Each structure stands twice: as C-alpha cells, then as structure tokens.
Structure 1
Amino acid sequence: MDNTNASGLQAQVSRLEHEVHALRTQIHASDDETITISEYILTRLEQMGVESIFGVPGDFNMPFLDYVEDHPKIKWIGCCNELNASHAADGYSRVKEHGIGVIVTTFGVGELIAMNGVAGAFSEMVPVLHIVGVPSTLQQKQKPILHHTLGDGRFDAYTKAAAQTTIAQAAIVDKVTAGPEIDRVLAQAITTARPVYLTLPMDLVSTKISAKRLKVELPRSPPPNDSEVEAFVLDEIVKLVEAADQDVVILTDACVIRHHVRQEVNDLIHKTHFPVYSSPMGKTSVNENYERYGGVYVGLNSHPKIKEKVENAKLILSIGSLKSDFNTGMFTYSVPASRTVELHSGHTLIRHAQFPGIGMKKLLPKLTERLHKFEEDAKQLPLPQYKALIPDEKDDIISQAYFWPRMGQFFKPKDVIVAETGTSSFGILDVELPEDSIFVAQILFGSIGWSVGTTLGAAVAARERHLGRTILFVGDGSLQVTAQELSTMTAKGVHPILFVLNNNGYVIERHLHGMDRDYNNIVDWNYTSLLTTFGDKDGSRSRSYTVHNKKELNDLLEDETFAKADKIQLVEVMMDRYDAPRALKASAQLSEAMAKRIAEQDPEA
C-alpha cells in the first residue's frame, strides 16, 4: 500500500466516524434551524480558520460571491486571473497551516485556468478547496449548448478533468446530500493534505438545508494506529538505534510541514539530541538556529561536510520524505534502505519492511519517549557546522554567491520567505533561516511564475497570523508570467518586499539547456514602474529601487525604513545573465549527466 492509498484509507475512516457523529447529533437535536447551502459552506470554512477567499467573478459563481462578500468575517480577495488566484490559495494554505486555502471560479473557462495551480497544490500536498459555480441543475439535465461548455452536451467534462488533480470531488445536486457532500470533501482535504473540488449550481446557492451538522466539527487528526503493530514498530526502531551505537541522523522533509508534525519532531530532536538535517522541501520544518541542526541534505548537491555526516551515519531516521528529483539532488541520495527508517503520514518503513496504517502523527510522541534515554550519548556525537558565509569578493558586482548569504543577514524571526522556482529556490538552500520563519517554494511541481500569486496569499495569511514580513525572491522571467497580481497586493494593503533578480532571462533554463539560445531571453521591462502601473498611481503606497552593486544593496538592506516594510516594495537587483547559485549549477550538471545516461540506454537514440 503506497502513502497516498494509506492516507486515503485513513481519511475514509475519519469521514465515516464523523458521519456517524453527525447523524447522532441530528437525531438528538431538538431545533430545526436552517441555513442556505452557501452559508453552510462559509460557516464550515470559518470553523477551519479561513478568513480570506481568492478568485475571479463569473456569471455562474456570482450569486455565491454575494454571500462571500456579505460575510462578516471572511474577506473576498478578487484576483486578476484564476491562475494567480489558485497560486494565492496555495500560498495562503501553506502559511496559514492547519487550515485550508480556498479559490472560487466559474464553470469551464475559469476552472480550467485555475487547474494548473490546483495541480501544483496536489503535487506538493497543499489542502485547497476549489469551489466552482456551475449552471443550474435543470440546465445540467437538459444539456443545452450553453456558453463556457464544449458545445457537445458534456457538462461533466470539467469535473472529470478535475478528478486528475484533486483528491476528492463533490457535485451539490440537492438539499438532502449537500451538507454531507460538503463535509466529505473538506474532511478529505484536511486529512490527506490535498486539494478538493466542489461544484455549486446557481439554483441551489440560496437553498435552505439543516444547520445541525455544523455542530459536529470536521475530523482533523488521523485515526489511532493499531496498538499491537505500533508497539512492534517501536521495538524494532529502538533495536536499530541501539545497534547503531546511537550514531543516528534525523532527516526531515516536506510532509513534516504538510501533515503538521512540526511540534512532534521538535520534541524528538530536543529530547534525543540526534543531529538533524532537512531536505530542500523540508526547509524550516525545524528551527535552523538549533544547535544540533546541520543544514540541508540534497544528495550530491550537498555541501561536502553535510554529505559526509548524513551518508556515513549508521542509521537515518527519515521523517516525511518526498523523494523527487530536485529534492534529492537528481536522485543522488545515498541513504540505503538497510540503514533507514522512514516515517510517513500513512505508513512506516523499517529497512525493507512496510507497515501500512502506522502514521507518524501518533507514532512520534511514543518514539520520542522511547528514544529519550539516548540523549546523553547522542549529545557527544560530533556535528560539523556549516554556514553560508559572505565571500570576500574584490569586485562590486552582485554575484549569486554574495547575494544569498548577505540576504541571510537581513531576515528576521517570523519572516515568510517565498522563493520562485529556479534560481531563487536553489540560491537560498544554503542560507540559515531565522527561528519561526516560514520558507515557501514549489520545488516539486515547479510552475514558472507560481511565486507571485503565492506571495499574495502568503502575505494575507501572514497578516492574519500576525507573523513578520513577507519577502519574495523572483526572477525577471518568472515575474513576467504573473506580474499583474502586484495590483491585488497593492489594493489589499499587504506589504511584501519583492526582490526581482534581473539577469535578462531564464537563468535556470540556460544552465539546463541552451545557454545562449534566444528562447531563454526575455524583453527587459521597467520593473521599478510596475507598482505605480499596477494600482499605486500616485506612488503613496509603494516604494521601488534598483541596486546595481554591492554597496547599493548593502545601503538599502541597512536602511531602517526599508527593513520596516510598512509599504509594498520592489527591489530590482541587477545580476550577470550567466551567474547561478552553486546548487543550481550542480543540479544542472547532474541533470545533464542523467539525460546522457538515458540517451545511451535508449536503443532508438
């Protein structure tokens, strides 16, 4: 049973338990309070901590949007297009944590545009609710040649497409099943950390249904592990730790964040003192200022000290791993199964044996209790310290090698740091981020321009959570894909700092293929005029800068007004078109080597 199937089974168990509880509540409740289907959805979302919903109006969803706009606690964030709105919902969900991002689109034309962003959320395990306003139930039965359809009567075509990028789908078709169906998909989103899809017909928007189910909270935690199997798993892990003479390394990854086990992992590392490392997608899953944190392990792309320590450990305790290409240094992890224990949301792997249904949320506290006795010996294990230092460069050019460790000095605790796919997500890997900061990057799905809409959602969520600054690093090419969402940031009064790396094109693509090809070039924009073009007409709500050299960069970063981030700010950073971070260059070389091996194995090549 793979991780997805195990998580799905857990979600089904939680859903059935919730359904039984809800039915008992309805049977015993004496009141007959009713509520519209729209109000039911919004009440559920409010219960889940949602304070903002993203999307674009369209004729099939506007009746529902009336309810959203009139809601006393949930705000409507209208975006420039559905793609950006889906990215914003993704970013909101990542930063909000324990909640869910929500996007509302219209039938067909709107939902298809959003599908790329929803697919990215599925790939990276981010819970998002996609609500689609659809034609009336009568129109869906009669199948007229309606606008936004394919013109062939297939009104279910888009739902079928959505099934490929969401974990669960529900079509509201009547007042009897509306409440249970809404609860079903929301429970799936929470327990599996994946997007879900919900259609709301125009004629049912104001239909009244019972409000009794709302008295029963949706399940949030996974069901308990089988006690007998769990006890065996714990015994086996302890035996491996003892056999390793406590030479154990903890490796944290994306699912520590997605499945909300940060606290459990934090308890484990502090009560055992085993050295801890993270993957790129697991960055900020643990406090990077912690004395036993060693850095980011990414296979052959790792710093030599990190690579040596992780790969020579007698036992790797891997938590929430996601072994994608960029997350593992193009599959160059050197941590064999014979020396590895893997904890996942829906199963546990001990060397070559798999234990389905034994999830890490319930297992970790018990494992911490069992491993606490090794603390004193583990403290003696050496931990080579690696920190990204600012190089002593004689020229004044802003190099990638200089820029990222210098930015590390600018960050503060509780900052939300967003890195675009490519140069930025590679450049920041070696930089130690402050305590309680949140790192947001789309390393697996890698949709160009994703970070701009995501920054909108992240900044809104950061404001709601009273976190620190939201800081975006994006290349000039990526920004051009989704730049119009800067206007929504300005309109909604969020104050991200946007560092635009101007290196005249797609640097990551240059290093992967076509260093001097024209297709990797872009048109040079006047980036410092974007904020005034996109909404801040009189320039009172924004500031823009261009830094050409190290001195200008340092002067700006040391400016208290700039660092305070009381307005939206854009910084154009002038960089060499061929320069790239160390990790990106290494990854490109590994990618090229992999392509060569594949070509040599292909008899048709």
Structure 2
Amino acid sequence: MSDIRTQSLQKPVTVAEYLFRRLHQIGIRSVHGLPGDFNLVALDYVPKAGLKWVGSVNELNAAYAADGYARAKGISALVTTFGVGELSAINGVAGAYSEHVPIVHIVGCPSTISQRNGMLLHHTLGNGDFHVFANMSENISCDVAKLVKPSEIAYQIDHAIRECWIRSRPVYIWLPTDMVEKKIEGARLDTEIDLSEPENDPDREDYVVDVVLRYLHGAKNPVVLVDACAIRHRVTEEVKRFIEKTKLPVFVTPMGKGAFDETSEHYGGVYAGTGSLPEVAKRVEGSDLVLSIGAIKSDFNTAGFSYHTSQLNTIDLHSDHCTVRYSEYPGVAMRGVLRKVTERIDMSKLSITPSPPVENAVAENRDDSQAITQAWFWPRVGEYFQEGDVVVTETGTANFGIWESRFPKDVMGVTQVLWGSIGWSVGAAQGAALAVKDLEQDRRTILFVGDGSFQLTCQEVSTMLKHNLRVTMLHYRTLHPWYGRGLQRYHPLELYRYPRGLWRQGRPVSEVRHQDKG
C-alpha cells in the first residue's frame, strides 16, 4: 500500500526533509529547541536541510530565543517534544503571539497509531486525550497544522508558513513520529512559498487613501506616530519614504522605538502620554491630526492609558484595517495605503511644523555626586551605542529607561513591552545575536537586564558562549518603588509615572527605596 501511494510522486521526499527545507527557503538558518523522544528522528533532518541546531538549555529559553531571532531575522523556528516540552515553551510562544512575532513551532508527538489506540503513553495526561496540548496552543497560534494525512501535508506546511509570515504570529505544526519519514511530493519545493501580502481591493483602498489625503491636506500641524506593528508587519520602509517626501515630524512609542531613524531631523522622540518629555507631549497632543501607524495601545506602551489625543484627530493604519477618526475600513491594510498616500500627496497643501530637537541629555544631568542616577545613565548609554547595534531591554527599568537614549542610525530596538515576561530578554538576546550572525552582519547585540530577571534565564549565557555570539550584557540592580513595600502603597497608574519622575529629577536610584512614600 505504501508503494501504491507514493509511486505517482514525481520527487518523493520525507515529511521532515520537506518541512526543514521550506524553513531554509524562507531565510531561517538556525533552529531553536530541545530534543525529546517524539522529535528525535525529525531532528536528524535539520542539518540535512542546511540548518543549524541550536540546542537551547530549556524550552522556555528556546521560545524566548526564537522570539529574538524572529525580530532580527524576520521569522524563526522552534522544535519541542509533545506535552512536557511544548508546555514549557508555551509562555514564550504566547508572548510572541501577543507581540506579533512569527515563530514556526514544530511539536514532535506520538504516532497516529498510538493516538488511535488511546495508548497510555508518557508525556500525556493519562486520559487518552492526545489533542489537549494542541488545543491549548490553538489560542496562541494563527494556524494549527496537524500532519496526519500524507496527501495533505505539503499543502499544510506551506499554508502554515505563509500564515506565520503574513500575519506575523506563531503557527503550530503537529508532527507525529510515524509521519516524519512518510514520502510526499517534493516537486513543490522547486517553487518557493508565495509570501507576498494579499492586495487590498483597489476601489476600497483608493477610497481610504482619498479620505486620508483630505485630512492630511486640511491639517495645520499633523504628526506621525509609529508603533510596534509597523516593525512587525514590515512597513518601516514605507514609513521612511513617506517621511522623506512629506518631512512631517515623526514620533515613536516605547514599543516602536527603533522603527525610525533617530538621527533624522524629522525625528521628535518617544511619545507615551504622561511618560513623555514635556516638549514631546506638547507637540503630539497639540496636533490637530495624528497619523498613527501600527499602534498597540497597551498600558505600558501608553504610560497607563494616558494618551491625551482625540480619536477625532487620529488616523490609525493597521495590518488588516484602517480607521479614520471613527470610521473603520476592515480588510484595507496599511502597506498599500501608505504607498499610495506617499505617491499622491500634494506637498503644496501640506502644513509642516518642525520636530522638537532630540539629543542625549548627558551634560545637563552630570553632577559631582558618586550616585548613578537614572537621568544620567540612560542618555549616557545613548552615546555608547554604535550604528547598527541590536539593543535588547528587559521588562522593567530598562524598558522605561531606554526611552531616554537616542539611537544612532540603524539601531534595532528589541523589547517586550506588552507581554512583559521577566527573563525574556536573555533568551531574546541570544536569538537576536544568532540571527545577526546568520545574516553575516558585524553588529553588536547589547542586553540590559536586571538582577531578578537574569536569575530566571541566566543559563542561556552558556548558549551564547557555545555559539560564540557577540553579546554585551549590562546587568544591574535597581530599587523600584513598585517592588517590595512600594507595591502595596501605589495606585497602579502611578507605577508608570513615578519612576520616570525620579529620573527627570535626577535623583539617585538609592533614594527610591527611602523616600517618604515607601
């Protein structure tokens, strides 16, 4: 029967070979993960496809590393075993889903025969339900491909990878042990997967472009606000071309830091509501039109939902819809809209107000004290950065502090503001540094991580050493008012405002613990 099913195949290849060759075709060069008895045979095909097996310390770190790799490379792959392995990784994959990071998560699982017979296998819950873990991952994946029918497997793999790329979110591929070496049609490998985004309906797109242009032409002091999804959905080049033509002032959010060249005369700084510098807040909140690109308006990203901008003065462009004031246009993606707006804008009708100057404010925060203040440290760090650096910041102090650092040209900011899983940054730095190495680029990866977070994932330093990665780690201990007693004394919204207030005052970190509010 096996021969009958495969004799019509033009170029028979095993499922594992097909899968890993597809990963290589889309640009992945290293695969993170851990071996387990349900994925061992599949892993033999990793080097055969021209891929490097990373071999992480544990599955959670592997998921964090795959997240960092994808942010720097565009997409990544993660391999775990059934049950115990995939559940250890699920937190990291959930973070990638939350923050629009594309990871192909491959799970080696028991054979279809074992599942059909309801065998009492290790790594199961002992209840005969082999789908329970896949069902868990379904909520944090934009596609779930269970590879159980050889005639459909090639299509399933191609579809999952395309969805991962287009929607910029994780996908889950379920690979039973008895499917790993099944033969499927390999002729499809001669044609690469079409990763181009679906085109907007021309009439709907033109209508949205006309509406956007009408408001842009009529505004007295418009500004551009770039957020994380502009990076995740790869429209930063469109943003660059738009700003080059219009010369409008452009600001970024904390999650969007690094999305635009901070050495540009049009760059105005980081806007985060009440967490912004006064001149930035005044400029953005005083605008009569905010062109928002790829917004994720989470609590940390908006400094406790403290935006003082009106939806009546806002145009929101997203990967799957656009909103102009209170009118929503589903299915109209931002890339096509940005391109046409750039082409058609009438510069004679555009009003332009210069951006506020942005500098690393080192001199004004220097004093004779031996205490290292937040106000001095983060601008000074901006002078340490070099063109092309990859800067990874951990949830907490570094996520907030990096706002004060002005990046040189082509610096990539890697931060997890929305999901905020402590310890993520160590694995992410390893993944990002490996991606840079795979790209054969001479770039530093610089990690800022606090003492507590580092303890969670410090084992991943061994992976950095094993692969000879270029990582500079700045490991610090900071006393924050929301740790310890301070957590009990503060209203949640104050968590975003208070530390930055201390930094602005230039008070030493050591005073935070001893000031009068605990």
User: What SS does structure 2 have at the residue aligned with 1:151?
Assistant: coil
- Mapped to 2, the partners of 1:578 and 1:152 lie a distance apart of 55
For 2:51, give the aligned amino acid: I
**Contact 1:57–1:65 under 8 Å retained in 2:** yes
- Of residues 443-452 and 400-409 in structure 1, the stretch that sits farther from structure 2 once superposed is 400-409
- Mapped to 2, the partners of 1:335 and 1:251 lie a distance apart of 11
Structure 1 length-normalised TM: 0.78
- Mapped to 2, the partners of 1:507 and 1:149 lie a distance apart of 43
Partner residue, 2:53: 76
- Give, in angstroms, the shift of residue 69 of structure 1: 3.5
User: What SS does structure 2 have at the residue aligned with 1:409?
Assistant: helix
Distance 1:227 1:136, change over 3 A: same
**Contact 2:265–2:355 under 8 Å retained in 1:** no
**Contact 1:507–1:578 under 8 Å retained in 2:** no
Partner residue, 1:87: 64
Task: Say yes or no: does 1:37 pair with 2:33.
Answer: no
- Of residues 355-364 and 79-88 in structure 1, the stretch that sits farther from structure 2 once superposed is 355-364
For 1:88, give the aligned amino acid: A
Partner residue, 1:105: 80
Partner residue, 2:181: 206
User: What SS does structure 1 have at the residue aligned with 2:291?
Assistant: strand
- Mapped to 1, the partners of 2:147 and 2:354 lie a distance apart of 58
* RMSD over equivalenced CA pairs, Å: 2.1
Partner residue, 1:543: none
Structure 2 gap ranges (5+): 1-7, 491-507
Partner residue, 2:211: 236
- Give, in angstroms, the shift of residue 70 of structure 1: 3.8
> Residue by residue, what CA displacement relative to the aligned partner does 1:404-432 show, whole Å, maximum 9, x if unpaired?
11111110011000000001111111211
Partner residue, 2:248: 274
Distance 1:375 1:282, change over 3 A: farther
- Mapped to 2, the partners of 1:387 and 1:174 lie a distance apart of 59
User: What SS does structure 2 have at the residue aligned with 1:204?
Assistant: coil
Partner residue, 1:52: 30
Structure 2 length-normalised TM: 0.91
- Mapped to 2, the partners of 1:274 and 1:467 lie a distance apart of 32
Partner residue, 2:4: none
**Contact 2:57–2:463 under 8 Å retained in 1:** yes
Structure 1 gap ranges (5+): 1-29, 517-574, 593-605
Q: How does 1:49-448 map to 2 (within 5 A)?
A: 49-71=27-49, 73-97=50-74, 100-245=75-220, 247-371=221-345, 373-374=347-348, 377-378=351-352, 381-390=353-362, 391-448=365-422
Distance 1:506 1:77, change over 3 A: farther
For 1:394, give the aligned amino acid: D
- Mapped to 2, the partners of 1:107 and 1:506 lie a distance apart of 40
**Contact 1:455–1:472 under 8 Å retained in 2:** yes
For 1:43, give the aligned amino acid: R
**Contact 1:415–1:437 under 8 Å retained in 2:** yes
- Give, in angstroms, the shift of residue 377 of structure 1: 4.7
- Mapped to 1, the partners of 2:485 and 2:204 lie a distance apart of 48
- Give, in angstroms, the shift of residue 510 of structure 1: 4.6
> Residue by residue, what CA displacement relative to the aligned partner does 1:438-466 show, whole Å, maximum 9, x if unpaired?
00000000001000011110000111220
**Contact 1:287–1:434 under 8 Å retained in 2:** yes
- Mapped to 2, the partners of 1:456 and 1:94 lie a distance apart of 12
Q: How does 1:478-493 map to 2 (within 5 A)?
A: 478-493=453-468
Q: Structure 1 runs of 4+ off > 6 angstroms?
A: none
- Mapped to 2, the partners of 1:426 and 1:511 lie a distance apart of 21
**Contact 1:234–1:367 under 8 Å retained in 2:** yes
- Mapped to 2, the partners of 1:199 and 1:382 lie a distance apart of 53
> Residue by residue, what CA displacement relative to the aligned partner does 1:310-347 show, whole Å, maximum 9, x if unpaired?
01111111111111111111111112111111111111
For 1:231, give the aligned amino acid: D
- Give, in angstroms, the shift of residue 578 of structure 1: 5.7
Distance 1:511 1:415, change over 3 A: farther
Partner residue, 1:13: none
